[in-house]
Structures are given as structure tokens and as C-alpha cells.
Structure 1
């Protein structure tokens, strides 16, 4: 009976193969079965201390990077889920001071009127006193009525002073042609700021009617810092056959006329007013756009506290993700470098455009073709000209 249990000569009860490979044993024992505790032990056995440390460091680091740089990541990946808007139909812009208006209209394919249209410049005012004066001085020769509305509330529901009312004495040169209104804020904190913005823009429609606008009058729809050039408005008021709605392509500046971002600011528009149809709004109204029609100078303030106020008050206040964004030294440093106040990437629709605009905005040392009042009073508005990035604290 020993033949089944007898070991052959030289044979041992222990195999020459390793027997401490529990993964192999687990695989043999569990073949064809569901995952058992043996396999779980096998997985645990395969993870050494270095792997645990790696995971403990990597996971929190990834969470931190996403928390701090999340908006940058989503902005960079924007081309993956959002297509660029439809292209505008660009209308070439012809101008020279020594060319007659009749010839200028003809160059654009338009006729000439016997009498110019009336022009209404309408703005929703926040706190841009310096830019407003430059704007109104630029447009003064050709505007029939200036219409301004301000509120005691920001778009984000914060109480604010009536800045225009407090500085109205600076604008006596338009007093006889000024329709001024105040819109009481609703102060609904936590509400989408674009709702309050739409509410205030709707109030502008009523104020515009009080100003006496009539059909075929020209209506300029743009924010205070989107300034059409005076010769653009003179062209449109004299020419016959212009589009009923025409967007204006403006040179796009940031902080001052030292930092030229691009030539793609397009929200400003001019409308031939139609009763019951024309509504004041700040979005795309048509496909026609007139080239090189003025300037957009965003965040072009004299005082640091004005930067802070706008950062907290305007519709994109959610971009202030950290309290240190409002630090005065940080803001001053960013202004002089031409960097982004909100630490964001360029808002573009292609990777090529995003990468091309990454980093600080290049300095421009050209002060050619800027609003005439700005250059005539350069000592007063020095902070808006090249080489003068330092701001007053306020």
C-alpha cells in the first residue's frame, strides 16, 4: 500500500518552485470562481509603501491644481466644446480729413443726404467718470442728445454712490442736451447679475423715449468705455443707405492706451431707430460691422480703488475667486505688466488664438489716432497714455 504514497528516490515533499507566491496560489484556488478574499489580499500585497505615498501626494495635489487653476483649464479646453460665432461681414472704413463727405459716402457705396440725421448717445453709467468725459468730448460735435442712466445698485446687488450725479458739474458742456435718469436698484443679493443688468437696460428704453428719439434717428448703443470715433458718427449721420443696424469694430485696449489687445471689440453698435422694434441691448444685433471705428478701453481707471469696485460690481464678479485678487499691490503690478486681473487665459475659440494671446499684453508706444480731447489734455489723463502705468490709490 506504499506505492501511492511512496516518494521516488531523490524526491522531496517540497517543490523546487517558489511557494510564497500567494497570487499564483490564489489564481489556482479561485479558478472559475468569483473574486475571493485571497485575490483581495493579492492586490493589497502588490501595492508597496511607495505606491501608497504616491497616491497620498498625487490626489491632493490634483485637487489643489484644479481648485486654483480650474478656470484656466476650462478656458484652454473651450475649443473642444464651443464653436466660434458666425463671422461678421466687414465693411471697409474710408476716412481722411481732406476728403469730402460726399466722396466718403460714395467710397462706402452709400449716397449723401440733404440733412444729417439726429444722433442719440445712450449709456448705462457705473463709475467711469474720466472715460465718460473723453467719450462725450469726442462725440460732442455730432450728438443731438446725450442720454445717461445710473443706479444706486451694482449689477451684483451692492449699494453704490450716484457717481455721475456727484460729478455732474464736470459735464456742463452737454447740460442743455442731457437727459439724465436714475434707476433704483432692487438689491437682490445672490441673483444672477445679468438679470439686474437687463432690468437697468430696460429702463434705458423708457428714458430714451423721454429724450424724444424718433424713427430714423441714429442711436449709439455701447458701454461707456466703448467710444466711437467722431468721424465715424459724422459719416453715418450724413450717408444715405447705411445698414439699419451696424456694429462697430473697435481697437481693444486694456488698462490704458498702452496695451492694445486686438482689433476685435464688436459689441458697440449704431441703429437707425424704429419705434416699437429697437430695444437697448448689448449683444450681437446683425452681421454687418464697420472696420476701425473707435476705441474700447476696458478697466481704464485713474485710481486703484476704482479697479476694486468694478471687479466686485460688474456682471462677471464670480471671476474674483480669491480675496488676494483685490490686493492693491497685486493690481498695480498687473497693470504695469499688462497681465490679467483675474488670472485667466484669453477667451478665444481656437487653440491657436489662445496660445497666441497667452502671457502679458505687449507694450505699445503709439499714441497716434486717439481721442483728440485725451491728447489735448494729456497732463490730466497721463495715466491713460503709454509709459504711465502707475495709478493713484484713491
Structure 2
């Protein structure tokens, strides 16, 4: 599921291209608040030409029965579109088969290549959490506390396949057997939240949050955002969100290491600009 994170999408495609059969990318023409937004992947399609042969792109459609009452309804619709809107129409080599590995992830949740090798080679629980090292703003700031409990992996079972939303939320299926179907694979992925090269993208991301309170005016102040990103502190001043600084981090996706001139903001937020190309 992708909003506007083009750099992260390219990094994800590069990291996993040799380890997956297909990437299903769902892009919505609306934010989680129901406002119109540009289709940035579609508009920048040529940027990803090296990966086109493995990309299944889908623009989210809104069924006539869709009556959203909360922001989460938009998010659930987009997440489940992989199963409801895309997979039923796949044919030939793209068609799913029973036992196929399925990973449900946001674009900023990037499994490690080794994780894909494990999933393709071994049996695993129907509800497998790929625990992610949790970074904020860049790979310079590691979130204190437990790993990020996403993305999730399952396998295709025809009509019995868990929906992406049920898989991510840990519900659906048979209640009595849920706990027995769960498992966790540690150090399986990277998660880089709010990792943007521009303040404009950062602000756009805030506007799209399902949590509306995070988009209040005081949290959209550019100087305040830059100070938080530069210092590795939580923009929303939540007591539970603290970070440990890691300079010259090398446990990061390979493309970030290979191309520091392009992705330097993902390894260092130091300096007056806080790594943003459009600030101050």
C-alpha cells in the first residue's frame, strides 16, 4: 500500500526484485479522509521502468456499496484491494496458486531479502508477523522499545485466504484457532516511518493520516517539524515515542548504502536543513 513515498518504493523494489515473483501496488486517488489526491506512482511510472515486469499496479476503485464512516474504512478498503480487486482478475503466470507466499505491507515496511528466502523454503504459521527494526525520520533514529509488529505473511488458500486487513489486525478466521495460527519472525524487516526527502511530502503525509488529531496546525509548523527531525524527537510529543541515535548505520537496505548521494537524508538528518531539500 503506497501513499506518496516514491523513494521508499524504489528502495523496496530494488531490495526485493530478485526475491519475489510480483509486487502488487495499490494506489488510491483519495486520502484516508476522503479528499482527492494525485496518483503519484502513475504520474512517475517511468521512474520504475527497471521493475515494470514484476509490478502489478492497481488504482483503487470504490464500490457503490462503500459507505465510509471513519478514516480506517478507507485504509481497510485499500489494504484489502489486493485480494478483492486485483487477485481475482489475474491470469497466466500472475495467477495465484495454493501455497504461494503472500506478504501484506505498507511501502515503508521492507522485508529483508533473507526473509523471503526463508518464506519460500520453509513452512510457517498462517499468521506470521515479520518483526521490523523500527526507525523514525531516517535510519539514523531507532525507535526505543519492541520491534514494529508488521508486515505480515501468509499463504494463498483460495477462498480461505486471510484478507489483508484481518491478517494485519490479527482477527478474522476462526476465533478458537487464531492464537495457534500466529508466529513471529524476528529481525525480518526494516520499517522507516516518516522518512521523506522534502517537507512538502512530510506535510502531505500528515494530512493523509487516519489519526486526524496529528494534522492540527501546531504540528504542521515547518520549523517545529525540522527541529524534531533533526534532533530525533517525536513531533507529537508522545511519551512513548523515543529514539536512539545511530550514526553511520550500515544495517539498512542495500540501495541506501550504494547511493548515498541520492539517499543521504535516510542516514543523516544533521544540519540546518534536517535533510530536507526544500528547507529552510
Range class of TM-score, shorter chain: 0.7 to 0.9
> 8 Å contact 1:259–1:364 — kept in the other structure?
yes
Q: Secondary structure at the match of 2:244?
A: coil
Stretches of structure 2 that go unaligned for 5 or more consecutive residues are 172-180
Q: Would you say 1:193 and 2:88 are equivalent positions? A: no
CA distance in 2, matches of 1:143, 1:201: 19
Structure 1 partner of 2:153: 270
Q: 1:237, CA displacement in angstroms?
A: 0.5
Superposition RMSD on alpha carbons, in Å? 2.1
From 29, 34, 57, the equivalent of 1:152 is 29
From 338, 342, 360, the equivalent of 2:236 is 342
Q: Secondary structure at the match of 1:302?
A: coil
CA distance in 2, matches of 1:270, 1:299: 23
**Which fold has the larger relative contact order, with Cα–Cα distance below 8 Å and residues 6 or more apart in sequence?**
2
Q: Identify if the C-alpha distance between structure 1 residues 305 and 185 changes in structure 2 by more than 3 Å, giving closer, same or farther.
A: farther
Q: Secondary structure at the match of 2:36?
A: coil
Q: Secondary structure at the match of 1:265?
A: coil
CA distance in 1, matches of 2:79, 2:253: 27
Q: 1:155, CA displacement in angstroms?
A: 0.6
Q: Secondary structure at the match of 2:169?
A: coil
Alignment of 1:1-394 (within 5 A): 124-184=1-61, 191-205=69-83, 206-211=85-90, 212-239=95-122, 241-262=123-144, 263-278=146-161, 279-281=163-165, 282-284=168-170, 286-320=181-215, 322-346=216-240, 360-386=242-268, 388=270, 389-393=274-278
CA distance in 2, matches of 1:189, 1:209: 23
Q: Secondary structure at the match of 1:252?
A: strand
TM-score by length of 2: 0.85
Q: Secondary structure at the match of 1:296?
A: strand
Structure 2 partner of 1:48: none
CA distance in 1, matches of 2:74, 2:126: 28
Q: Give 1 or 2 for the bigger CA radius of gyration.
A: 1
Q: How many residues align?
A: 256
Q: 1:242, CA displacement in angstroms?
A: 2.4
Larger mean Cα displacement after TM superposition, 194-203 or 134-143: 194-203
CA distance in 1, matches of 2:88, 2:116: 21
Partner deviation per Cα, 1:273-317 (whole Å, 9 max, x = no partner): 111122112323653100111100000011101111111112112
CA distance in 1, matches of 2:128, 2:152: 6
> 8 Å contact 2:26–2:57 — kept in the other structure?
yes
TM-score by length of 1: 0.61
> 8 Å contact 1:222–1:267 — kept in the other structure?
yes
Q: Secondary structure at the match of 1:270?
A: strand
